[in-house]
């Protein structure tokens, strides 16, 4: 087929199902160029658009409360993002572990779900691995619908954040020892085989620092986000990032960008955006730093992408112009919504929401607010922020434009535990239960 003219090849490839067509993009550059050049693949099926934000709260009164889905109005009409239907299948499914999202799939504590297609599957029980003092075991998801309908889950040891009190001495048996070891052995689940297997990764690059060397960060940094990008899984181990190369079973330790540890409160976030892997953190209330991982050289290094103190902008923001169109989804509306009011959409750069640069207003007296990062837009250089005044903002890194999406209320006993930016994938994957593909719409 490589000898066929472009138009003829496009006609042949155009007869394939979307899933197979997406897989063909990875065969060679020529096929990828034909598919993209002739716009054969329906982009509306791929996870390219942000539909909403998942937020999980800790609440002492409700151990198994479902996640909050903060979404665009049109997305709320098509996607039952709050996942309440899973309670009918298995009550108390373990909502507290939601937060691992990868290209349209969400990893729960007991399974994987696609909120867009409403497919789901419960995984076999996690392997009973030997626990290591000072470490917890966390699961991470790898899925790329343009390459394969299958997904992988990696269950590995990660350093536990020290909160103080009874957890003060959560160190490894030998604080001076290197972590992670080489080889780094973990459990891996593949939807191709539908079973857990042991997988070993050899270290490449310089040796890691000991856990004792990074002890000062234990009081201020909280993490364990992950990013899947071009066949590699990046995991935030609080003190450094581990990059797992899934093709050759190697891993590399990437140290964090410089962090100002003089501030008592630091909120970091590892995520994927337009050019690859990004790392952002807020300190001092409203000071925001965004770093980009440059992997063009042999040794990856962090490059400062953006730095700003948002306090003056937030203090003068024209809140009176509206509270945004996004809202917390309560019950899904299966009827198509008429767009009576404009909604914020990253694909629409018309700026339907008021920005700080749009109107001159008086700076609020006694302004006292702070922000933290909810996540990054996967395909545009936009970071989503949450303010103490319970507003969600979209901040554009390329032009410093700040837009309000809406209000994200929470209860008095709620404490935000995790968040993830949700991009729906409408291509049905290999989710199944007991060996059979399952879709609860049927």
DSSP string, 284-325: TTTEEEEEEEE-SSSS-EEEEEEEEE-HHHHHT--GGG---S
Q: Does 345 map to a domain?
A: no
Q: Does 128 map to a domain?
A: yes
Q: How confident is the model at residue 333 (pLDDT cuts 50, 70, 90)?
A: very low
Residue 67 has a pLDDT of 80
Q: Does residue 152 share a domain with residue 23?
A: no
Q: Does residue 162 share a domain with residue 13?
A: no
Domain count, the chain: 2
Q: Does residue 142 share a domain with residue 283?
A: yes
What pTM was estimated for this model as a whole?
A: 0.81
Query: Does 75 have pLDDT greater than 50?
Result: yes
Give the range with max mean pLDDT: 215-219, 267-271, 367-371.
Answer: 267-271
Q: What is the pLDDT of residues 200-248, one digit of tens each?
A: 999 998 766 565 554 444 444 445 789 999 999 999 887 789 999 999 9
Q: Does residue 301 share a domain with residue 224?
A: yes
Q: Which two tokens stand for residue 112?
A: 């994987």
Q: Does residue 290 share a domain with residue 228?
A: yes
Long-range contacts: 22-30, Cβ < 8 Å, 24+? 22/46, 22/145, 22/146, 22/147, 22/427, 23/146, 23/147, 23/148, 25/146, 26/146, 26/147, 28/2, 30/2
Q: How confident is the model at residue 94 (pLDDT cuts 50, 70, 90)?
A: low
Query: Does 97 have pLDDT greater than 90?
Result: no
Under 8 Å CB-to-CB from 29, ≥6 apart: which residues? Answer: none
Residue 183 has a pLDDT of 92
d(CA 316, CA 321): 12
Q: How confident is the model at residue 68 (pLDDT cuts 50, 70, 90)?
A: confident
Query: Does 264 have pLDDT greater than 80?
Result: no
d(CA 160, CA 241): 14
Percent of the chain topping pLDDT 70: 67
Residue 28 has a pLDDT of 78
Q: How confident is the model at residue 64 (pLDDT cuts 50, 70, 90)?
A: low
Return the sign of the alpha-carbon dihedral for residues 96, 102, 106, 108. negative
Q: What is the pLDDT of residues 117-133, one digit of tens each?
A: 888 888 899 888 666 66
d(CA 328, CA 167): 35
Query: Does 378 have pLDDT greater than 50?
Result: yes
Q: Does residue 169 share a domain with residue 28?
A: no
Q: Does residue 80 share a domain with residue 21?
A: no
Q: Does residue 250 share a domain with residue 159?
A: yes
Q: Does residue 281 share a domain with residue 250?
A: yes
Question: Strand 415-422's sheet: what is its strand order?
Answer: 327-328, 68-71, 52-58, 415-422
Residue 372 has a pLDDT of 85
Query: Does 340 have pLDDT greater than 60?
Result: no
Query: Does 277 have pLDDT greater than 90?
Result: yes
Q: Does residue 29 share a domain with residue 154?
A: no
Give the range with max mean pLDDT: 232-246, 326-340, 413-427.
Answer: 232-246
d(CA 95, CA 55): 11
Q: Does 323 map to a domain?
A: no
Mean pLDDT across the stretch 388-402? Answer: 90
Q: How confident is the model at residue 9 (pLDDT cuts 50, 70, 90)?
A: confident
Q: What is the SS3 assignment for 211?
A: helix
Query: C-alpha distances in angstroms, 395 versus 19, 172, 274, 341, 376?
Result: 34, 40, 14, 22, 10
Judged on CB neighbours under 10 Å (0-12, 13-18, 19+), 429 is buried
Structural domain span for residue 163: 62-306+417-437
Q: Does 409 map to a domain?
A: no
Q: Does 321 map to a domain?
A: no
């Amino acid at each position: 087929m490589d000898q066929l003219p472009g138009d003829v090849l496009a006609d042949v490839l155009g007869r394939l199902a979307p899933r197979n067509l997406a897989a063909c993009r990875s065969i060679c550059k020529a096929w990828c160029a034909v598919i993209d050049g002739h716009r054969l693949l329906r982009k509306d099926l791929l996870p390219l658009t942000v539909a909403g934000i998942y937020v999980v709260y800790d609440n002492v009164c409700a151990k198994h409360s479902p996640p909050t889905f903060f979404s665009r109005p049109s997305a709320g009409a098509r996607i039952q993002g709050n996942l309440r239907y899973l309670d009918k299948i298995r009550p108390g499914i373990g909502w507290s572990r939601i937060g691992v999202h990868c290209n349209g799939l969400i990893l729960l504590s007991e399974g994987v779900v696609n909120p867009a297609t409403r497919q789901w599957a419960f995984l076999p029980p996690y392997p009973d691995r030997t626990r290591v003092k000072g470490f917890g075991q966390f699961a991470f998801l790898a899925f790329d619908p343009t390459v394969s309908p299958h997904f992988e889950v990696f269950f590995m040891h990660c350093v536990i954040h020290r909160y103080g009190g009874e957890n003060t001495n959560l160190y490894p048996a030998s604080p001076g020892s290197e972590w992670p070891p080489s080889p780094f052995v973990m459990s891996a689940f593949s939807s191709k085989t539908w079973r857990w297997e042991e997988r070993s990764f050899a270290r490449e690059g310089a040796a890691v620092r000991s856990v004792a060397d990074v002890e000062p960060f234990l009081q201020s940094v909280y993490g364990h986000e992950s990013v899947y990008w071009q066949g590699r899984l990046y995991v935030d181990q609080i003190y450094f990032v581990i990059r797992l190369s899934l093709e050759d079973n190697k891993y590399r330790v990437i140290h964090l960008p410089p962090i100002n540890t003089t501030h008592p409160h630091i909120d970091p976030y590892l995520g994927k955006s337009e050019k690859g892997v990004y790392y952002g953190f807020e300190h001092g209330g409203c000071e925001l730093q965004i770093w980009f991982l440059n992997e063009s050289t042999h040794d990856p290094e962090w490059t400062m992408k953006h730095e700003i103190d948002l306090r003056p902008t937030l203090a003068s923001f024209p809140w009176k112009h509206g509270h945004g169109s996004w809202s917390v989804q309560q019950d899904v509306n299966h009827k198509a919504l008429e767009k009576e009011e404009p909604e914020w959409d990253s694909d629409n750069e018309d700026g339907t929401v008021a920005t700080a640069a749009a109107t001159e207003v008086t700076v609020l007296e006694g302004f006292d607010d702070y922000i933290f990062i909810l996540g990054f837009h996967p395909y545009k250089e936009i970071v989503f922020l949450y303010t103490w005044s319970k507003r969600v903002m979209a901040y554009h890194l390329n032009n410093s434009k700040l837009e309000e999406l809406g209000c994200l209320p929470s209860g008095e006993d709620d404490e935000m535990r995790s968040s993830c930016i949700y991009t729906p994938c409408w291509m049905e994957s290999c989710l199944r239960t007991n060996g059979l593909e399952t879709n609860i719409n049927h």
